[in-house]
Amino acid sequence: MMPLDIDTLRLDFPILAHTVNGQPLVYLDNAATTQKPRAVLDALNHYYQSQNANVHRAAHALSGQATQAFEAARAKVARFINALDDRQVIWTRGTTEAINLVAYSFGMHSLKANDEILLSTMEHHANIVPWQQVAAATGAIIKVIPLATDAELDMEAAAALFSTRTKLLAVSHISNALGAINPIKQLIAMAKAVGAVTLIDGAQAVGHFPVDVQALDCDFYVFSGHKMFGPTGIGVLYGKRELLEAMPPWQTGGEMIKKVSFEQTSFGELPFKFEAGTPNIAGAIGLGAGIDYLSGLDRAAIAKHEQALMAQLLAGLNAMPEVRIIGRPQAGAVSFVINEVHPQDVATLLDMQGIAVRTGHHCAMPLMQALDLPQGTIRASIAFYNSADDITALLAGLDKAREFF
């Protein structure tokens, strides 16, 4: 393990040395996408410069090297989340595609009229809209876990919603909008008690703390590479093997077949039956490099550092009488509003000072409606490469914004 030296680690991320609007970059939009270390950038360059070939399809040396690197990345993902088998790791374009794969391959073929799909008020649109499509096609019914008064999930209400008609639970591990860590282990246990299948959206979790899919005992777990220091356009669907084996292919074409004739086609084994066409080879290799980088750090020290940054930010925001923090942020993101000021106006003033945050609904419009926040919030989200100086700069920028308005 490398000792956690933030100043040294920041040098691994070239973009952090950039300026924006003549000011040093303070990047606090990590819930949207994280920056990439040199190790990932180098892995991408190395593939394209030295190994560029298609995988699984040729006998020549470059294809063999590309295939080895591609499948080695799959094995790294499996170890990273403690999957039993590499074949339980399916490459996707990201969390959104992974959820859609499960929705269309499992949901469309397994759910029927009056079956219930249980979501939560906190879900990202990517974990709502696919299930609405499934419900519309199958006659299944969507039920929603409401919020308690502290803007966390109402677990008493959740317990009452589970029944023998509940066939699927799909919830986020961490809210992208509020930074709340949901009690997914408890929810998974509730789902198992009624025989429901579980899908966990881990997009916001995997970059902040270790995830063990066997310990969680979830049926599906999905996440994106670009939110955990890897490239864009690559993501992961983990699934229990018996479910993946039973699910039909979602997309069809090359790579995912065993034999094709004009009369009949037979499909390949896991994981290939879900990976039609040329995959994002460079993205997978880059994600593998990102996992290597993250795994080489002391993740307990990272978590402690991030919690210290969260505490500093929350204390600073609580000291501003015009600021209202939304919910009880626990990891990654803090959402807040400033009385009578449009979030976009605040973000524009912060951007002029080189400070990057996100505003709006954060692809969680039902959550914002439940919280009566029609304009959304200002969201500052951290990663381990952020420093105490970044938080100080944000708080100073907010002071300027408050004075301006």
Annotated catalytic residues are 363
Distance CA 188, CA 179 (A): 20
Residue located via tokens 């978590």: 303
Gap between the Cα atoms of 285 and 333, Å rounded = 28
**What residue has token string 């914004």?**
401
Contact 222, 98 (CB under 8 A): yes
Q: DSSP letter string over 73-136?
A: HHHHHHHHHT-S-GGGEEEESSHHHHHHHHIIIIIHHH--TT-EEEEETT--GGGTHHHHHHHH
Cα(174)–Cα(153) distance, integer angstroms: 11
* Cβ–Cβ < 8 Å for 236, 279: no
Distances (CA, A) of 88 to 3, 7, 78, 148, 217: 33, 37, 8, 35, 14
Q: Give the whole-angstrom CA distance, residue 302 versus residue 229.
A: 14
Tokens 């270790």 found at: 210
DSSP-derived 3-state class of residue 318: helix
